Structure 1
């Protein structure tokens, strides 16, 4: 499974990815909405995890 984590809090994003990777989930990161959209359009993800209050 491949997941995109879009989160501006780097520590939180790393904590989420460490947990997910224990369960064989491959994670990519974006730290803002624009980067998240770019990655989502370039790759095929099974799951997107988005920060609700993410800056653009």
Structure 2
């Protein structure tokens, strides 16, 4: 399960970066903001998984 969540975090981060870049390219502030939000969500998920790993060992 943890690997799945880690992969999901990386996917969210990558998707967020792509959205943010696309938003900047076309001048769409909403898309840029959505991209940043998705990156933050991925960052939070990754931090949660790292914390869980620390307490497992």
Give the TM-score normalised by structure 2: 0.34
Which protein has the larger Cα radius of gyration, Structure 1 or Structure 2? 2
Give the TM-score normalised by structure 1: 0.34
Instruction: State the structure with bigger RCO (CA 8 A, min sep 6), 1 or 2.
Output: 1
